[in-house]
Structure 1
């Protein structure tokens, strides 16, 4: 029985983005929470109009972010959340109706008060992220976006410029909801309204509470 549960846990880890049979740094995996997070993203997600309700594979950063601070802010939405005290994680993406529009969502659950420490670190990373310039026609300037009354704490920003020579916008929200981090990116080849991204973020946070 123990071996069977361990096998299930390992499979969930591989799907949800936690590498190996046990989280990084010796963290204990919360199998029940891992299952719950995947259900949140896959079972009838209640997203705003214009987004597919069918979850797809986790979002991936579409460029090589040379700045580690910028990458730190973006990675959690793709299922690569900060590892310390991480006990469960899941990620998915949802296509929108705009040109190349997509929403990427990452959910991460932590032991104790670690989520508070991590959101603080991500806020500092957002403060330090200014420009993604990796050549090849990709140059994106970052600025923070004010956000209020969303979860317990939240940090938000926008990358705006060109991706491989084409106009590109990427909005990012990271929200602490209790012992969880809820991360969202909303991107496309046309200008993306931060207010619509905030609506998306509020919808996802509400999904985690259901």
Structure 2
């Protein structure tokens, strides 16, 4: 077989293959359905818009609920604060009333102690028992003194402190004038005598001191 013959046979075989083979399936390309695609895209767009509107509505609802909750919390906090303030004030009022009653008892004990200190038995009436009477009065006075000191310690634990007024300049915020005196050796407005002791409860006046004030 010559070279020419071989080429001729190959060409014939190739031509026969090309004539017998159907190449339509190789060139046929499935074309997309553009109308359907656009329809699907439009539907998807509508769904996205609807979801977006629903999501925005949900956010708006949550925002309104949060604003309402914050306002309610602020109102509740204000109410609780007001209630706590009222309860504290009521407690202080009850304390003041109770402390004033206790201070009245303290005044009576202090006055009794003062009378005992100044008391002197009359020789003519108690001559036969003078020593016993003096010892009794002295012992009773010591007991009163101890009671008063404990009373004062209790008042201090309750944050109640006496107002120092004797020898001080008159202070209208803590004192009340009941009597007027005239002492040329002292300045005008100086407290000459404390007629009834005043007290402070924490930083507020519990009871005004009643005093005798010098006036030139």
Structure (1/2) with the larger helix percentage: 2
Q: TM-score, normalised by structure 1?
A: 0.23
Bigger Rg, which one:
2
Whose relative contact order is higher, 1 or 2, with alpha carbons under 8 Å and at least 6 apart?
1
Structure (1/2) with the larger strand percentage: 1
Q: TM-score, normalised by structure 2?
A: 0.22
